Structure 1
Amino acid sequence: MSDELQVQIKGLMPTPSGCGVFLGNGKHGGKIIAIFVDHHVAAAITMFLKGVEKPRPLTHDLITHIFAGLDARLEKVLINDLKNDTYYARLYITQENELGRNVVEIDARPSDSMALALQQHAPIFVKASVWERAEDMAWALEESSGDEDGDEDVEE
């Protein structure tokens, strides 16, 4: 197993306090992990998945506009740690200009990171050691398969 596994969003499941975002990579026995996000970021993720046009820029749109103004782009998202049932992530942002190429690594919530990755068509990775420690939530995704976001891959 390499140090990082590329994953895709396999489904979303509403919860009383937000939404479960199910991630899988199609390998490693069909394991699925779930990251629970608040309602606001869940709404943003859903809008990006469905290509919904918004009348005014939301927070993730603003971040993308700032990146564009700085000639920067999101290269990838890495979910890099799991502590006390809380996931951690890093954004890898590249800026290229006449002075050269600079890569900046920024600590970020996985929820915001996934929303930005969807919006900017950047890949999402999970560190192999995190993947191994994370609970397999395939059963929960299977139980929600009656929902419209069911067990189909939802990321383009």
Structure 2
Amino acid sequence: MSDESKVKVEPVALMPTSAGCAVFLGDGDKVIVFYIEPAIGASINAVMSGVKPPRPLTHDLFSQILDAFGAKVERAVIVKVEGDVFYARLFIVAENEIMERKVIEIDARPSDCLALAVRQEAPIYVLQHVWDDLRDMSDVLAELKDKGE
């Protein structure tokens, strides 16, 4: 995967919808959107807002476990879209006193990838060919923000 061209993106907005949460990712020129479960949206939003829950949420726990094993999220990559379903890969790097550096690539939902990436301040990418095929939703995001103000 490292040979494939990627676009670095960041979460630019998370908005509740009647069916869950809309996640808007952007690169500064273009914005894409996909939908996730409301609880994961709230979890991502809490981290981005600097809110610390009184008890660790599932993604906090997973992040703490990675830390305990000398591992970290290196990056998250959205690799495919089929219809309305997005597919992603999570790259974890582990290096500790027991083993040499090891890179692990895991199939994961984009929502889980985002939740972990924001916690570990890891970059988020979309494969270039996937990015190019997705509609720019900048106008929709701007319209939603205007309505919300």
TM-score under structure 2 length normalisation: 0.91
Question: Which amino acid in the other structure matches residue 139 of structure 1?
Answer: D
Q: Partners in 1 of 2:60 and 2:39 — Cα distance?
A: 14
Percent identity of paired positions between Structure 1 and Structure 2: 44
Amino acid at match of 1:81: K
Q: Deviations over 1:88-138 (max 9, x none)?
A: 111100001243110000011001111111111000000001101112211
What are the within-5 Å matches in structure 2 for residues 6-155 of structure 1? 6-26=8-28, 30-98=29-97, 99-146=99-146, 147=148
Q: Is the 8 A contact 1:75 1:94 kept in 2?
A: yes
Deviations 1:62-90 (A, max 9, x none): 10111012110000000111112211111
Gaps of 5+ in 2: none
Match of 1:137, as an amino acid?
A: M
* Root-mean-square deviation over aligned CA pairs: 1.3
Point out 4+ residue stretches in structure 1 off by more than 6 angstroms.
Answer: none
Counterpart-to-counterpart distance in 1, 2:126 and 2:101: 25
Are the counterparts in 2 of residues 13 and 144 from structure 1 also a CA contact under 8 Å?
no
Q: Is the 8 A contact 1:20 1:34 kept in 2?
A: yes
Distance across 2 between alignment mates of 1:54 and 1:95: 27
TM-aligned CA deviation for residue 4 of structure 1:
0.4
Structure 2 SS opposite 1:113 = helix
Question: What is the SS of the residue equivalent to 2:113?
Answer: helix
CA distance in 2, matches of 1:139, 1:15: 17
Q: Verify the 8 A CA contact 2:78 2:89 in the aligned structure 1.
A: yes
The separation in 2 between residues aligned to 1:11 and 1:64, in whole angstroms, is 22
Distance in structure 1 (CA, Å) of the matches to 2:83 and 2:34: 13
Amino acid at match of 2:52: E
CA contact (8 A) 2:69 2:96 kept: no
